[in-house]
Amino acid sequence: MSTGAKVMALHGGVLVLLFVLQFILPAYHHGNLARIMVLASYAVGYNILFGYTGLLSLGHALFFAAGMYGMGLGIQHLDLSVAPALLAGVLAGAVVSTALALLALRTSGVAFMIVTLMFAQAGYLTVLYFGEFTRGDEGFVIQQAQRVLWGIDLSDPTNRYFAALILFALSLLASLWLVRRPFGKTLVAIRENEERVRMLGYDTYKHKLMAMVISGTISAAAGAAYGLLFGYAGASFASVQYSIFPLLWVLLGGAGTVLGPFVGTLFMFYLIDLSSGITTAYMLIAGVVLVLLTLFAPQGLIGELRNRLWRWLP
């Protein structure tokens, strides 16, 4: 099999498997998997900037929340129906990520991390400040009647699963398509050695800008979908923790691999799910995993797999 065929078979196979699991899984895991697929879409978005372009953002919660609140506030206060509300969320993410990119890309390295962290924190505080509309930490529920898209009730578990699968499939395929195109290969080269890419005649600033907007927009789509499918928007989704999560998932699964974000999200979700039965301090697990990863497996699960077995993995 050619590399291209192997790649298609593997990623197509994962999507087919996820489709089939819908009919097999017990209700509890079925619900979990829908949630994981939405969160993994967020991680896929994050991975485009961090994994492929080499820019470590600590502020992606801003984009996730922009999508969630663009959608949620649209439904709640502007009486939008589902489709325009989703669009509003995605657009909000695109606008916010463009604005932050224009500012943050003037810096690099550690300064970039802190700038993204600070602006995301300002975004989180803004959500709290306008508590009158956002209901702050408490958040607001999106009623079942408001979650009907083209006659399909998205609060129904089966519909919800399919919606999550469609979102995940779209982001996965978009990311796969992107990294196999010259644009994506240039991003990888920027990650490896930006100065050299510039001296080959590429406008690296424009490439990074595009990468950040694409990454932010996918993250916003995931945020909007999360609010819609699970019927809730709250300030905690804008907090630092939700900027750290995608970093954690991507690191665990393998930064700069197409399947890594999903694998990382899946592992971390069940790790926390299982440990929350034992202790309330479940973030301890996240902390330990982060430290162990930086120490022993900076390439992540899929990254190690690529290094050891399947060198053709994108």
Question: Which residues are near another protein by CB under 8 A?
Answer: 56, 58, 103-104, 106-107, 109-111, 113-115, 118-119, 121-122, 125-126, 128-129, 182, 185-186, 188-189, 192-193, 195-204, 244, 247, 251, 279-284, 286-291, 293-295, 298
Nearer to another protein among residue 10 and residue 114 (C-beta): 114
Torsion from C-alpha of 297, 313, 265, 15, nearest 10 degrees = -160
Nearer to another protein among residue 166 and residue 200 (C-beta): 200
Nearer to another protein among residue 28 and residue 296 (C-beta): 296
3-state secondary structure 28-81: HHHHHHHHHHHHHHHHHHHHHHHHHCCCCCCCCHHHHHHHHHHHHHHHHHHCCC
Nearer to another protein among residue 24 and residue 110 (C-beta): 110
3-state secondary structure the chain: CCHHHHHHHHHHHHHHHHHHHHHHCCHHHHHHHHHHHHHHHHHHHHHHHHHHCCCCCCCCHHHHHHHHHHHHHHHHHHCCCHHHHHHHHHHHHHHHHHHHHHHHCCCCHHHHHHHHHHHHHHHHHHHHHCHHHHCCCCCEECCHHHCEECCEECCCHHHHHHHHHHHHHHHHHHHHHHHHCHHHHHHHHHHHCHHHHHCCCCCHHHHHHHHHHHHHHHHHHHHHHHHHHHCEECHHHHCHHHHHHHHHHHHHHCCCCCCHHHHHHHHHHHHHHHHCCCCCCCHHHHHHHHHHHHHHCCCHHHHHHHHHCCCCCC
Q: How far is the CB of 225 from another protein (least distance, A)?
A: 26
Nearer to another protein among residue 146 and residue 243 (C-beta): 243
Q: How far is the CB of 35 from another protein (least distance, A)?
A: 21
Q: How far is the CB of 133 from another protein (least distance, A)?
A: 14
Nearer to another protein among residue 152 and residue 288 (C-beta): 288
Nearer to another protein among residue 46 and residue 230 (C-beta): 46
Q: Which residue in 57, 97, 63, 54 sits closest to 256, CA to CA?
A: 54
Q: How far is the CB of 31 from another protein (least distance, A)?
A: 26
Q: How far is the CB of 218 from another protein (least distance, A)?
A: 22
Q: How far is the CB of 199 from another protein (least distance, A)?
A: 5
Nearer to another protein among residue 26 and residue 109 (C-beta): 109
Q: How far is the CB of 179 from another protein (least distance, A)?
A: 13
Q: How far is the CB of 22 from another protein (least distance, A)?
A: 34
